[in-house]
Structure 1
Amino acid sequence: MKSIRVKMLLPVFVMFVLFVGFMIIQVTAITNNLEQVKKMHEKYFFTLSKAEELKLNVVQVQQWLTDISATRAAAGFDDGFDEAEKYALNVKRITAQLLEINPEKAVEINDIEKKFNPYYATGKRMAHAYIEGGPDNGNLLMEEFDSTATAINDIVDTFKIASTENIQNSIIKIEHSIQNTIILVIASIALAIIISIISWIYLTKSIVNPILMVLSKLKEMANSEGDLTKQIDIVRQDEIGELAENFNLMQDSFRKIISIINNESTHVAEKVFITNETINQLSALIEEVSATTEELSAGMEESAASTEEMSASALEIESAIESISTKAQAGAEGALLISERANELKTKAVFSKETATNIYRTTQNKLVEAIERSKAVEKIGVLSESILQITSQTNLLALNAAIEAARAGEAGRGFSVVAEEIKKLAENSKTDVSEIQNVTSIVVDSVQNLVTTSEEMLEFISNQVINDYEMLVVTGEQYNNDAIMVNDMTADFRTKSEEIMASVQTVVRAINEIALASNESASGASNIAEKVLSISERSHNVEVQTQEVKASTDKLVEMCSKYRV
């Protein structure tokens, strides 16, 4: 089946393909033109520029060699060879550049270079001949130089002309490409117009005309005044054909619905009559039920009042037991708190005992070590005695030196001065050693006092502090045991209270359930009475509405009879 979507998309697809093809051709043409322009700019224009420069340098070589020949290298005019050499080097540089960018013209460029070398050499020989031998010698080479100059200029001009022709050929190619592009654009526009016209005719015949035909049939059916037997006679393999077919199916469904409505309306009228008879009988029964439920409601209200009084008393008992249970719970929590504190006290006491024991042991070890080290002070006394003996011997030596100096007279005066200084040094050393002995004696006494005091402190820690910590540990254990016993008692008391409260709560729930059932029964009886009255009223309303339904059914039958099925 060829759908409308395909029919509509087909022209669009053709236009799209045409547009894409046109754009591809355009892009290709533009790319080729750009390539030509780029080639013309980077190669042909550059080649032409270098050819012009080459021509200029060849002429300059000839000009400078001719000038120096005419001036015969006179002072101030002897730079012709240097200038000619400069332009000759330029010629070689330019030919190398041309060969690099135009490798396909290597033969022509190499030919230029081959022609230039004899031209330049002949020119230099001619200039030297003019300078060295005058016009007679120079004129002999002038004709040879002119022939080489003509040859080099001709070949350079030919190369220039070829470069110009390359540029002109590129321009002609670009112009032809642009003309072809313009022709292609015009042809594409004409083809697009033709395809658009064909597409419009195609869509009109395949879509618009069938839609107008369907609309015409629908208008005829709308003006047929209820004739559901008419059909849309259009057979197509697309959405319009499906629309006509589905509309015909809808007509068939309408015919079936109208037939069912006619049949059911008659059945409904019969049921309405039966319903009216049943409602009349129901109304009489409802009145009897209403009287009975009013008597039942009064008895239920009295029972509910009694159960409410029982429920209030039970709630008071439950509240008292709950208070006892709460206090027991508080006692248990207090006992647990005491137990925790006792354990904490025990833990801290054990830790403090261990700390004191460690301090005792550490201090004892350090004290013993300090006492051993303090014995080194006694060595100071021994050393002091040795120093005193040395000073006594020094005094004797000084005395002997003084005696020998006195015997020597003037010659021993210097030795006498030295002996006197040694004597003073020995006396000063004796004084210092005496002070050291005094200080050493004080230090020894202080160390002895420190040892005595430390031993007393260690004995106090060992006998008193550690014993106190042990007693504190025992006390913490006793507190913990007492707290556990109190906690067990309060827990047992709380358990019994909870059991009693659970029993009371069971009784309260039973009383509440009885009261609730009584209240619900009383309320239910009242509601039944009210609903019975409401049912009575609604049954009357139902009777009225059934009459209205009967009238509506009669009207519906009358309307359906207008349709031809």
Structure 2
Amino acid sequence: MSNWWKKQNIGTKYFTIFGITLALFVITLSIVFMQFYRLSGNVEKMDQASRQEILLTEMGSIVKEKTIKAYSYQFQPNETTVKQYEEISEHLTTLEENVEGIILSSQAEAFEQYKTINNQFNHLFFNELIAAILMDNEIIVTNTLRQMEVLNSQTIDILYDLRSQYEQMRQESNETTFSNITRSAIVILIATVLTIALSGIIIVRLNRSISNGLKNVVHTANEISEGNLSIGDIQTSSTDEIGQLSTSVNHMKNNLKAMVEEIQHVSQTVTIQSEALKESSNEVQQGGEQVAATMQQLSAGADQQADAASEINEKVNVFTSLISNTNTLGEDCFQASSEVLQSTSSGKELMKNSVEAMENIYENVEQSFQKIGGLEQKTKEVSSLVEVIQGIAAQTNLLALNAAIEAARAGESGRGFAVVAEEVRKLAEQVSQSLEGITTIVNGIKTESKIISESLTTSFHLVKEGTESIRITGDTFGTIHEHIQTMGERIQTMTHNLQDVTKTSKDINMSIESIASVTEESAAGIEETAATIEQSNHSMEEIASSAKNLSQLSEQLNVLVTKFK
């Protein structure tokens, strides 16, 4: 593995590090995706359990409402009450179908038991209670109502048990969701730390390897630039760019060393031959050197200017491309913000509808609360009436007793009157017994009315609080809508500015191309000028060429040779 790593170039090494980091990142994303997939399943279970709780709670309320209607029919035996009872039953049937479609298999038996009891309740109402009330048979009415009350209690208990099971399931899903979130956070943290640590270690080692190699190369190059060719070769076992550079520097040093030795020999020969011509060609040499140096500087300056203009042109092209890409991203961002703005508008409208729905529910609960209050008042009036009837029955019984005493005193002539008095006394006793049953029923109605009143009071406050919360949420959606709209306008302004910058960059690019063209023409002019000077010095070619070349070569070689060790 170490030998393979040394043979790779720097680009491959950095690409390998990038690949390792990317692989770790992909693994981290996969783990996070799996955790969030589990999390979505738990959230779906929580949502299903919450919907079932709401449906079962509503069914319990409707079952109580059916019971109230059944009791109401005793005092209001008309078709309106029966029709209202049928409408409530139909609504309850609809809810049963909704619940039955998503009921758990473990709860199916209990739900079937609930349906059986509900059918028995309806049977008692339609087939026994209505007939008994129409026949004015108080005993059957009382027994039927008692049976219906027992069935109602059983129904409420079953629905409460089912709702409790869903509530427990929702709590368990909530705990599981929280556990998954915590686990996901820990996994992300550990994976991120491992990725950063591993990538950092590899990059630090690679940078250290490159830095050490470059230090050796720079040190050797500095020694060579100072004329020290006796320095040892750079030791390297790598074949990447740093290793190749080290090998090239070693070859350059050895070639320079051989070249310097050859130059020393040539320099000695040239020095001896150039002494004879040095004095006669001195003036011509000085003029030619001055002109040549000036032309070289001009030519080098023109070349540097042309290179700089070309480099600037390339950088401006890159800058223009980046601006164009940024402009495209700005347009995409503006399109995305427009879509978000549209979604926010829809959410705002939906929140408005939710507020209206909650207000309607609030009004319905308030009306039901008021009707229950009226029912309690009517129950009190019935109780007062029962007390009055009890008093009349007691007086009637007392009168019948007095009549019987008087009939006994009258003897044979009062026997018929005694029979009448006995019948009146029996009638008074029956009335007293009936009043006792009525009193029991009225007291039961009072108790149920009080319980329903307390439940509606709690529902009344909860609905009120829910309405206020939804109203505040609607206002928040409105604020979000305004902020997103402002953000979209700013993004659009930024896009227009980027378009202007792109246009300006293109104009700058054209100007730089023009400068490069002029610089190239200047360089060509300098070359032509140099050629003209060479023609003017042609008459001095024999003397100047010999003296100048020999003198320059001798001096340059002597200077160069003295620099190297």
TM range (shorter): 0.3 to 0.5
TM-score (norm 1): 0.47
Task: Tell me which structure has the larger Cα radius of gyration.
Answer: 1
TM-score (norm 2): 0.47
